[in-house]
Amino acid sequence: MTDVHYRAMLESDIDEVLKVEFAAFSHPWTRGIFLDCVRSGYECWLIYRGNQQVGHSVLSLAGDESHLLNITIKPENQGAGLGALLLEFIIERARQSGAEVTFLEVRASNQSAARLYERFGFNEIGRRRNYYPAVGGREDALVMAYSLIE
């Protein structure tokens, strides 16, 4: 897609980020979480299609490890390959920063995201029981890892 571009997230972007976050998730991140991530220097990025912000991601880096904390595409833009483009972009940022592996957690019920990660090359390495809040209780997280060493 030639009309896709990326930009680092700023504190002033968080209102728009929250609109996407709240549209996409039953238990979205809060303003405070995004502010902490931006202020802490995490890799916080926005993806645009044309002039419309269609998603965001947050990656933490520590030594030779990275952790994909959030990757979100607006529900009405899902299924168009934007999630894969954003994942590819953020993984390349991790690689350029010297990370050797990227970890993530995904809701066990989020099969479309888990399939995207598997197609990309992530492998399930574990499960965190009752990790996520869910309607009516808690939900397991699949823990996945992707080697950045070529």
| From 21, 42, 117, 146, the catalytic residue | 117
Please tell me the distance from the alpha carbon of residue 61 to that of residue 93, in angstroms, as a whole number: 10
At residue 79, what are phi and psi to the nearest 5 degrees?
Answer: 90, 0
Does 132 qualify as catalytic in the annotation? no
Specify the 3-state DSSP secondary structure of 122: coil
AA letter at 52? Q
Q: Using the structure block, give the residue that is written with the tokens 């060493």.
A: 149
CA 84, 21, 131, 101 torsion: positive or negative?
positive
Catalytically annotated residue among 21, 43, 105, 139: 105
Q: Is 105 a catalytic residue?
A: yes
Query: How far is CA 8 from each of CA 108, 123, 147, rounded to the nearest angstrom?
Result: 29, 28, 24
Residues labelled as active-site residues: 105, 117
